[in-house]
Structure 1
Amino acid sequence: MEYNIQIKTAVLHILDTSINLPLISNNELYIDGEISEFLDKHINKVLDDTNLKKARFIGDTNIVRDICQAISADESNFREASKEIANIIFDIMIKNVDIISGDLICCLLDINNERYYGLLKLNYKTGFTHYVNQSEDGTTNSIIRHKTLLPAEGQKVDEAALISLETGEIKLIERTYEINGQKEFYLSKYLLNCTTDLSDNEKMKIIDKVTKKINKKYYDEDFDKVAKLKNVVSQSLEDNNKVSVEKIAEEMFETNLEVREEYIQEIQKAGITEEAIQIPQKIAEKKFKTHKIKTDTGIEINFPLSYYDNSDMIEFTNNPDGSISIIIKNVGKIISKQ
């Protein structure tokens, strides 16, 4: 999905813990065509990321919420407010060495005509480039390692927050780091102080995990149940891009009411409370376009999900001895793939 993004102003702060202090910019970033395109592409990727979560500020006192309200009331507060946020993030980073250094871009922008305050933490990448050394002996070309390269336009930003200055809603991408001996999300817990919903990716992982758990408990890991799950979800997506947990349970476990109820309860305990889950096209194409199976004899078959239950294309037959025969039909040509 393409979004109408307009960058109004931005500032870049360098948060490199190897030099023990943040390099805070006193001036805003000069945004020419290339920089504008760079930011636009990264923000589009953030908005389309399946790990994007909705979040909301909590607490009677909340520094970042107060900063955003100050910017909303008077946008001339943007520069000083961004310095304060950069210093807060750096203070968290310097106390927790596992957090990756990077450049922080703070920006004011419109997304589909709604004003946002944006934070993009561009974590450093390592790469190699040439280095030209001029000396009395002439030119010497060599290769050096750069440790502070920014993510390219085609790469994803894995830490970002887009805060609506109209509603206060947060669109958040974050990653865990080791903090106080355990993996934690520092952006939501220590910077933004907010509650977060599950991302689309997390919801699908929960459904997949609970389905496998119930399948193993009651059906001895029957491959047919996994294929059936994908087929139920795929058919639902064709109708309205949503899947109903109730419908999945009903079609997968049919008349076994006890298993159906346990399945729904496990899904709810894992954090999915809505009746219908919106599934982005990106996840649908990746997870529900094909189905892969592997036999105990080492044979792997990857087939289009649309062939499931289509005996004209592939057929699974239960033999009297308990084994299964797989018949692939109507094949015009076989191509060897290395």
Structure 2
Amino acid sequence: MEVIMNIDKGVIHSLDRDLQSMILSEKPLNFNTSKDVEPFIAKLAKAFQSSPTASKAKLNSGSPFLSLIGTPINFIEETQKLAKQWFDHHIATMTVESSNLLFAMVDMGDFVSLAMFEVLSKNGYIKITQNEHGLENALVHNQAILPATFASVKNAFMVNLTTGETLVKFQDIRYRELLETILDCEIIANSKTSFQVVDTLVGTISEVREDSHFENIVKAKQVITDNVDFFDEIEPKQILKEVFDTFSEEEERLIDATFEQEHVQDMINLKMVNRTQAAKKHRIVTESGIEIILPLDILDISDVVNISTDINGQVSIELKDIGKIL
């Protein structure tokens, strides 16, 4: 049964690149006069919960968000503080660009979440203007097209104000660290990131063993494509076992240390990873500039590709029974 989602409150705080300053809204959005905003927020919140780019986070014992759980909050005051921290980071790191932080109280029926979505002004719904219709430094509708998908959101978080369960999205390591600082949390690797860590370990272990890097990487990816119709999840370490069977003590230590460092803790969602190009395709790039893309979800690579290395270390790739060249 689909959960009915309501947006109780919303507000937009903005940072203007031209003015090099932030404008923090004093009042929440009026959904009666801004009728497009409420369904837009609901669309983002719904997509956030199922997005492969979303990661779980665990609030630390000192997180200020723990004090918000189960208690009424001053929505404008709390979001202003969060926006100021976020924009101060932009200004301090000289990465100022016109940006909107859209905050909302999202009612899921059994619980309410506080959500934040960062939308750049080039895709934004609200922006800062100067001397337009008698308004200076005011927030107005910019008549721009709203982002079509959650993919347009660069950074985001959503905190369940009943349980403390938290979701985050970040565009790069800088914003991961910023979210961890503001939320005071530990971000857990999502399925996509966990598989990337596994992929890196496959390459490292293959190199140490002097095994075929190509064959082992393909094996790891085919664990995903071969099992997606039969299982929902798989342990990250199980993928490595499918590739290498057993590990030395040194390899075990490497795997455990890497998982701990990269926060790989959860099972990998096979269907979610299988939707990514990284799992379904493998790209071979040679020193001579040749690129070959292999569709792992369609073909058994061992049937169509043969890679050999001569005594001088030169590699030859033979493609077999691949059909006509279109």
Give secondary structure in 2 for the equivalent of 1:125.
Answer: coil
CA drift at 1:202: 2.2
CA drift at 1:261: 3.2
* Alignment partner, residue 158 of structure 1: 154
Quickly say closer, same or farther: Cα 1:262–1:224, change in 2 above 3 A: farther
Instruction: Please tell me whether residue 281 in structure 1 is matched to residue 283 in structure 2.
Output: no
User: One-letter code of the match for 2:306?
Assistant: F
* Alignment partner, residue 326 of structure 1: 318
Tell me which moved more, 292-301 or 201-210.
Answer: 292-301
The equivalences for 1:125-164 within 5 A come to 125=122, 152-154=147-149, 155-164=151-160
* Alignment partner, residue 118 of structure 2: 121
CA drift at 1:176: 4.9
* Alignment partner, residue 243 of structure 1: 234
Give secondary structure in 2 for the equivalent of 1:106.
Answer: strand
Among 82, 86, 105, which residue is 1:85 paired with? Answer: 82
Among 71, 74, 78, which residue is 1:73 paired with? Answer: 71
Aligned length: 302
Quickly say closer, same or farther: Cα 1:295–1:112, change in 2 above 3 A: farther
The question of whether the paired residues in 1 share the 8 Å contact of 2:188 and 2:265 is answered with: no
Give secondary structure in 1 for the equivalent of 2:23.
Answer: coil
* Alignment partner, residue 227 of structure 1: 218
Give secondary structure in 1 for the equivalent of 2:227.
Answer: helix
TM-score of the two chains, using structure 2 as the length reference: 0.75
Q: Percent identity?
A: 20
The question of whether the paired residues in 2 share the 8 Å contact of 1:42 and 1:156 is answered with: no
Superposition misfits of 4+ residues, deviation over 6 angstroms = 147-151, 319-323
Structure number with the higher strand fraction is: 1
CA drift at 1:116: 0.6
Quickly say closer, same or farther: Cα 1:246–1:254, change in 2 above 3 A: same
* Alignment partner, residue 203 of structure 1: 194
User: One-letter code of the match for 1:125?
Assistant: K
User: One-letter code of the match for 1:235?
Assistant: D
TM-score of the two chains, using structure 1 as the length reference: 0.72
* Alignment partner, residue 24 of structure 1: 24
User: One-letter code of the match for 2:157?
Assistant: A
Give secondary structure in 2 for the equivalent of 1:186.
Answer: helix
How large is the RMSD of aligned CA atoms in angstroms?
3.7
* Alignment partner, residue 13 of structure 1: 13
The equivalences for 1:25-40 within 5 A come to 25-31=25-31, 32-40=34-42
Among 47, 52, 61, which residue is 2:49 paired with? Answer: 47
In our comparison, the structure showing a higher alpha carbon Rg is 1
The gaps in structure 2 that reach 5 residues or longer are 125-141
Instruction: Please tell me whether residue 316 in structure 1 is matched to residue 306 in structure 2.
Output: yes
CA drift at 1:177: 7.7
* Alignment partner, residue 178 of structure 2: 186
Give secondary structure in 1 for the equivalent of 2:8.
Answer: strand
* Alignment partner, residue 58 of structure 2: 56
Q: Distance in 1 between matches of 2:20 and 2:239?
A: 53
* Alignment partner, residue 139 of structure 1: none
* Alignment partner, residue 95 of structure 1: 92
Q: Distance in 1 between matches of 2:238 and 2:173?
A: 37
